[in-house]
Amino acid sequence: MSHVTSAVRTPLITGGKTYADVTEDISRQVEGRPTREWTIAFTISVIVLIYGTACVFWTWWEGLGVWGLNKTVGWAWDITNFVWWVGIGHAGTLISAILLLFRQKWRTAVNRAAEAMTIFAVICAASFILMHMGRPWLAYWALPLPNTFGSLWVNFKSPLVWDVFAISTYFTVSLVFWYMGLLPDLATIRDRARSKVSRYIYGAFSLGWNGSAKTWARYEYMSLILAGLSTPLVLSVHTIVSMDFATSVIPGWHTTIFPPYFVAGAIFSGFAMVQNLMLIIRVVFKLEDYITVEHIESMNKVITLTGSIVGIAYLTEFFIAWYSGVEFETYAFINRATGPYWWAYWAMMTCNVISPQLFWSRAIRRSVVWTFTLSVVVNIGMWFERFVIIVTSLHRDYLPSSWAMFHPTLFDISDYIFSFGLFFTLFLLFAKFLPVVNMAEVKTIIKSSSEKLPVSVSGVAKGERVANPTFNKDVE
């Protein structure tokens, strides 16, 4: 008796992969020698990092006067870059936590790299906090210290102190979530290792993972608990970052829409960066069967949604400024659109509001070239958004005699370049020495979301597979 089946869902894994194929394809870049592309990219990243590090040390040595700040614009590129990097780090937690709780299967191929991106982006964001402290060796003063250190208790009413707790908590939970998710894959690499050194290192980091039913059960419980802890962080971290501005009385900053507006913008820019990284990984590591067009389209839908929310927030800001009847608030927004920094405002509007609307077209949404290009455009636009919020709200004060322009110096630009060198150096090391796709989780969906059902034995070669067109459910 033959079974008649119909395709309900497009497969998330193509190529008719078996469990053995998943292990082999994803472990290949870890076990093999570095590719020429990886070596070139890593060399460039290290050179940029070395140059940027020298500039950061020079900034500390000479003081913040090497930046383009002045008596009116006391915050500029440093905080712009800080908020931008924190925003980029949001997608990893959303993919790993919220989409896990909603049982979205398409997250399995992208969550590992997105979580790594989150950790590295938060490190880059923290570097800007250290930079603009001026005396980074006293950074621990931002923590509540024992009385033996003297009267150094921080002002808990300051949102800058809230930042310390929010970002450190976010980093810690994200790091634990990422590392715990690595354990099954680290054990796989350990068991396949050919050298004693590799076996020892991966064995130590896999924490004695043995793959028993009890181990897997505890792993699943732990994943759900961490997902529950991480979900509020997706909303709280950028909410607290937005309060750096919203709790002030400066026109253009003093607005209650900032928390949801910043969270939506963070997810928006974070998903765009995930797209950029995953599309490169997809080609370089030949993972087209695991990171498919379906994954690309799903993430583009999130980008379209959050981009639309950000666009509504921009319009709401203008309406509230007019509706408030406060002339200073109204002028702050008119100045953004028509003042000396009009080019930054309209670059922001074009990149963040207009460009994502192209994803309403299914052809563009499923195009790799269009996706990569628009994701770059979105992240450029989100940087301009933070620049517009910070600089245009400061550069024209209540008194015209205090008005000033901000012009970035070489060290403003070089310290920003440093963060790119740091980010890509860390990400490339991760991509070489750890599996960029979560093998364990991909294997959990291989029966329900694969193009062809593999036979029950994982090691059967491709020529011996049972041909079965069903990919939406396991038909007996």
Return the closest-CA partner of residue 121 out of 240, 264, 272.
272
Res 343: pLDDT: 92
Euclidean distance between CA atoms 146 and 162, whole angstroms: 19
Res 450: pLDDT: 65
Res 162: pLDDT: 87
One CATH from 2.60.120, 1.10.1200, 1.20.1630, 1.10.3470 for 19-143+155-245+260-309+411-446: 1.20.1630
Q: For residue 132, what are its two tokens?
A: 């603009």
Euclidean distance between CA atoms 201 and 470, whole angstroms: 41
Return the closest-CA partner of residue 442 out of 94, 45, 106.
106
Amino acid at 268: F
DSSP per-residue string spanning 31-88? HSPPPHHHHHHHHHHHHHHHHHHHHHHHHHHH-GGGSS--SS--SSHHHHHHHHHHHH
Write the pLDDT tens digit of every residue in 199-246. Answer: 899 889 988 888 889 999 998 888 888 888 888 888 888 888 888 888
Write the pLDDT tens digit of every residue in 15-57. Answer: 777 888 888 888 888 888 888 888 999 999 999 999 999 999 9
Write the pLDDT tens digit of every residue in 123-178. Answer: 999 888 888 887 788 888 877 777 676 666 777 888 888 888 888 888 988 899 89
Write the pLDDT tens digit of every residue in 326-355. Answer: 888 888 889 888 889 999 999 999 999 999
**Residues contacting 424, CB < 8 A, separation 6+:** 41, 45, 48
CB 415 within 8 A of CB 125: no
Maximum alpha-carbon separation in the chain: 88
Res 458: pLDDT: 45
Return the closest-CA partner of residue 40 out of 424, 416, 433, 413.
424
Query: H or E element: which one contains 149?
Result: none
Q: In percent, how much of the chain has pLDDT > 90? A: 25
Euclidean distance between CA atoms 329 and 261, whole angstroms: 18
Look at residue 60 and tell me whether its pLDDT is greater than 90: no
Structure pTM? 0.87
CA distances from 236 to 231, 270, 398, 472 (A): 9, 16, 32, 37
Q: Confidence class of residue 249 from pLDDT cuts 50, 70 and 90?
A: confident
**How large is the average pLDDT for residues 65-75?**
86
Q: Taking the CA of residue 401 as centre, how many other CA atoms within 13 Å lie in the half-sphere pointing to its CB?
A: 0
Res 153: pLDDT: 72
